Structure 1
């Protein structure tokens, strides 16, 4: 229905509002209070209605997106209360189906009778938004080329006087409305060369000819030229005669610039693609057909661009992985992109190339394109493989002190890790060189010795202490060509093994393929392997020297006379590990007088030579004082004072020392924190001799006391260290109770076999693995 509204509070001419806004290409609404009372045709289309009645009567906030209702409400209230135009602002509106539309909205108050209406002009910027996004994607982070341009609305009389000038026009032309009203539009804004076209367009609009979006330049206040696309609508006076023309203008200057920039952007994109470090492939998201690629992509798969274009993207990968990778492509398409862990590309030669893929889904002119960035991670993957191999080698080296076992692991693992066809480790033995370890070479080589004077390669590395990489062994004079040819070796890498500034050996890696050589990462790997092996050799030498000393000390600690008059006894010692056979456990039996026998068993905290030396100190001290003093407690007190002075604050000793009087059939003892000895009474009863004194080595003024127990002919004394009771089986301890039951079960076993019987039971329980050194000393009277 048509209804007349006055545009100004003091209008110059009557205007048929209905006819004007119906011709506008931009949606226009009129609201009273908060209700929509009018909607033009463009509004019906924008909001997805079929007729104006579906919009008229709605509360305006029903069509405003929730995120913008507060903002829009303030603008409407301000326009109503203050009568000021709410300038173009970006908002979101809701279509009748609930979907949102990006728009720019201007609200202007209009008085109607005693009330105030609001004219709401809406500019759909969805296309502009999509255009911006499309350009941004195509340029990959290049600056935005198109900014949101609001519609310009100008009312021009039939003699080209400006009657209305909206805020968007103010912004475009740089002039306020008050400064242009009643001024000549042509003189102010239209270049002379474009005036005839503008006059023609306005005349046609006044004559009622439909506007078709005529484009012409306009000049702003600062002299700049903007290109505008115009849509016109005539305004009739009260008599129905054309009186003025509404010009609805959209600034397309930026679109023109954007078109030019897009072309330049595409050229830059091509340049960027070809200069990229990574391979880039573009594929149609629906079909998977490749439509473009860069030079790095050609190198990655070994095919020219003309062969790549038209291929299916699955052809970039090994055939056996086609279905798996097809699923990944579909996931990327559905998700709009993504990244992957390691995948494989396939070179035209058949070689598989490890890659990482980053993909983005872009819209180019309505066509969905997947852009895949393939990064060749061959070097990184190889570096990680070498690093992992080196870690395994180092772990193997540190897991054992068995030099032979270390070298066997090193030669195999390092050769496989570096990708060598064969390898050898040659050691210097005085004035000779001998190949000690080989990989994929005849074992007979390890039996040969080569004099130093005849070993040209070995002499060279001994003198330079530098690695040697030879790519063509058949032409290089520094190597034995006969040897190389006889085993088909084309290239080699030899690295000296240096210990204390002396070359003690050489590790060599060989390639039998003519085209093969060693990469920088592989040479670095060989250097690090050689350093680890050199350290292992040095440690092995040191260990052998230390072990010799320790074995001597340990033998002294465990030396017991083969026979002592009046006694039956057995003893046994086992270390927790075979390679570390020395520890702090010790025991002794010795005659003090013809009827008195000293009995010692103890355990020093810690391991190695230091613990062994402390054990020797304590044992010899107790033994020495035993010939001067008849009280074990007094002897222990003296030994404690000496131990405190001679050891570090963290060392302590558990010790049981007793004096067996064979005539009185009794034992006087002092137990300094040691596991309680067990007495088997006449094969029928078990007793424990509890600890009665503190451990040795903590403080020098601690009290030590003597205890006494009978020891008859049919009794048996079992002394042990905590390694016996702390033997484990799946978290379960052997324990005191199990040991006590075992002793009772073994009551008919002769004393001379008792230590081995207990040990065998303990080893069976722990499945052959000890967590601590263990010592046993079993005594009975004859």
Structure 2
């Protein structure tokens, strides 16, 4: 909608001195419509003369509903103090800059704060201002600024509405004729172009801005030809980012008489948005970091970009608290060079100083650093750094290290940049504290888990045995276990191989793991595998303190005349696999349900014959349920892996399974996995 002007009777004649020419009137309407801030013109009685669409939207009335209406009638919630401001501007001819009022409008209930600048508008041949142009918008803090510049106090010429708006708008405004010659330009845009206003007027755009003329001429010629508006075209030039809109200004007969350009400097906004995106990526990287090494990689690879730096390093106090050492990184770029040596905590060094004082240190120019620390001259010369920031790392209140950022160019380190560097350091410090806690808990869990496994596998005459156990990335102990033990003695010795998985993690899972393993050592020595599992089930269900279920595979091996017979039972465990000497793989499925979950269980038992070179493979679901790009690793993939192996050596089998699962899965390993392999050699016991 076009802004409402006074009716034709009150408009100046197009030929009258000081009045609007036809193009000026059209230009005024164009500027009013498209300015990104609210504009109102009030007469001496506080009646609306002009409003643009932004002001109309804020006030909750259409532009037509404003014209001729009193402010008090249309906006009863606005305080009467606005009248005093308008009367003062009319009486003195001086603008009132950044005046705050608080009050609701129909479209903005509550108590919004409005900040406006009031400028005198002179009529034709008038010695005193006849109305006041108000440029205003809503602000959310006392320190905000609408962005309207002050008028020069000694300006000799009177200002019309158009000149008032163009000269004082918080955006760049230029008017060009259809030959792309500058007719008008406001001071803010002239300053952005780094040329005075006079150097623009009458000159073609290509003469003033040769570096961007090719792009702008194409857009402006299209607007001049079609009359189509081009909005919000973004362009980067000379290190800044500009958002521009291009409009056609109609002449008296409706033809396109001129072109208007509105330009907003969005450099700071885009830089802020870029920094926010980089901080978000850094935060996401830290969310995936479990270990201290993971955090260091995140800082070096992602945090360095969030900080706008060229090199980042993480230095932590050692366990004795006497030395600060840089942690190694595998990143090829962005990491600290080897010459960034660690330092003693009491050293005369910026890293040690930041740690001791707990205060960040910023050196916009590295020469100042060398003046303070002359012994770092060689380091400066070797690295080529030109600015340095050192920020203490805090995990749980106290500084435990420092984050260093080096820059190849000198840095002003303004308040916003310092805030970003501090935010990066704070995020890194919290992530390091979590990682250190996780590593301590994880190491404890690993030690506990190992205590639940055999310290070493037995030597079995005529059988090669190997096992692998990989702990998941969770800090708590898992429930996977395996065991191999003899039954009987002498020539009648048989061997039992067990593998199982207790549901859940933590201390309770570990206690059930120990219970299952030791129970099976007793029950499997006295009964066949299926009966041994049944006895374990009864033990689990009879204990009121046990709330976990278990999947178990139990195999009992007897050797005769170079061959072997394996009795196999399963309590809901993944099928066993037998890799034959010729490479074929048999899948051995045995009926049976998980133990400890139901009052009664049905357990079957199968017998498998092994010949020399055959390998029995038992595993937990951490193998087949590892998740990768194609879903679960799965049993079929495991079978193909065994078939493709050149032989069935148990050490090779368990090693390749572990490697292939690790390579396949995406992200950290979620679950523990265990693999147990036994190959019949054919040698007589």
Cα distance, 1:555–1:540 mapped onto 2, change above 3 Å: same
Alpha-carbon shift at residue 634 of structure 1 (Å): 2.5
1:587 to 456, 466, 482: 482
Indicate if the aligned counterparts of 1:492 and 1:511 stay in contact, CA closer than 8 A.
yes
Q: Offset at 1:508?
A: 3.1
Among 517, 520, 529, the alignment partner of 2:424 is 529
In the other structure, the counterpart of 2:500 is 602
Residues 156-192 of structure 1 show CA distances to partners (whole Å, capped at 9, x for unaligned) of xxxxxxxxxxxxxxxxxxxxxxxxxxxxxxxxxxxxx
1:775 pairs with 2:675: yes
Q: Does 1:653 align with 2:550?
A: yes
Mapped partners of 1:396, 1:466: distance in 2: 26
Structural RMSD (CA): 4.7
Q: Deviation digits for residues 61-107 of structure 1, max 9, x if unmatched?
A: xxxxxxxxxxxxxxxxxxxxxxxxxxxxxxxxxxxxxxxxxxxxxxx
Secondary structure of 1:282's counterpart equals: strand
Matches within 5 A, 1:478-557: 479-480=372-373, 483=376, 487=380, 492-510=388-406, 516-557=411-452
Q: Report the Cα distance in structure 2 between the residues aligned to 1:324 and 1:608, rounded to whole angstroms.
A: 65
CA contact (8 A) 1:497 1:504 kept: yes
Q: Contact conserved, 1:601 with 1:657, CA < 8 A, in 2? A: yes
Counterpart of 1:214?
none
Aligned residue among 537, 549, 571 for 1:672: 571
Aligned to 1:329: 220
Distance 1:685 1:464, change over 3 A: closer
Change (3 A) 1:295 1:609: farther
Q: Find the aligned partners of 1:601 and 1:656 in 2 and give their Cα distance.
A: 5
Looking at structure 1, the residues matched to 221 and 515 of structure 2 have their Cα atoms a distance apart, in angstroms, of: 77
What displacement does 1:639 show? 4.9
- Larger relative contact order (CA 8 Å, sep ≥ 6): 2
Q: What is the deviation of 1:278? A: 1.9
**Could you list the per-position Cα deviations for residues 468-487 of structure 1 after superposition, in whole angstroms to 9, with x for gaps in the alignment?**
44556766999535537972
- Structure 1 residue 550: deviation in Å? 3.2
Relative distance call for 1:315 and 1:467 in structure 2 (3 A) is farther
Shift of 1:338: 2.4
1:482/1:273 Cα in 2 relative to 1: closer, same or farther (>3 Å)? farther
Q: 1:310 to 1:416 in 2, by over 3 A?
A: farther
Which of 343, 358, 369 lines up with 1:449 in the alignment?
Answer: 343
Tell me which of 262, 269, 272 is aligned to 1:380. Answer: 269
Q: CA deviation at 1:262?
A: 11
How has the CA–CA distance of structure 1 residues 420 and 730 changed in structure 2, closer, same or farther, with 3 Å as cutoff? closer
Q: 1:362/1:619 Cα in 2 relative to 1: closer, same or farther (>3 Å)?
A: farther
Task: For residue 559 of structure 1, give the secondary structure of its aligned residue in structure 2.
Answer: coil
**Does the CA contact (< 8 Å) of 1:644 and 1:697 recur in 2?**
no
* Residue 173 of structure 2: aligned partner: 280
SS in 2 for 1:446: coil
Q: Residue 442 and residue 770 in structure 1: after superposition, are their counterparts in 2 closer, same or farther (change >3 A)?
A: closer
1:310 aligns with 2:310: no
Structure 1: gaps of 5 or more residues:
1-128, 147-256, 346-350
**Aligned mates of 2:632, 2:409 — CA distance in 1:** 58
Residue 282 (structure 1) shift: 1.9
Superimposed CA distance per residue, residues 445-487 of structure 1 (whole angstroms, 9 cap, x where no aligned partner): 433523x333364565345534344556766999535537972
Give me the TM-score of the superposition, normalised by structure 2. 0.63
**When the two structures are aligned, how many residues end up with a matched partner?**
527
TM-score of the superposed pair, with normalisation by structure 1: 0.56
Q: What is the aligned counterpart of 1:633 among 529, 533, 537?
A: 533
Instruction: List gaps (5 residues or longer) in structure 2.
Output: 1-21, 34-38, 42-47, 51-122, 134-158
How is 1:675-694 mapped onto 2 (pairs within 5 angstroms)?
675-678=574-577, 688-694=587-593
1:77-92 equivalences in 2 (<5 Å): none
Taking a change above 3 Å as real, the CA distance of residues 762 and 456 of structure 1, as seen in their structure-2 partners, is: closer
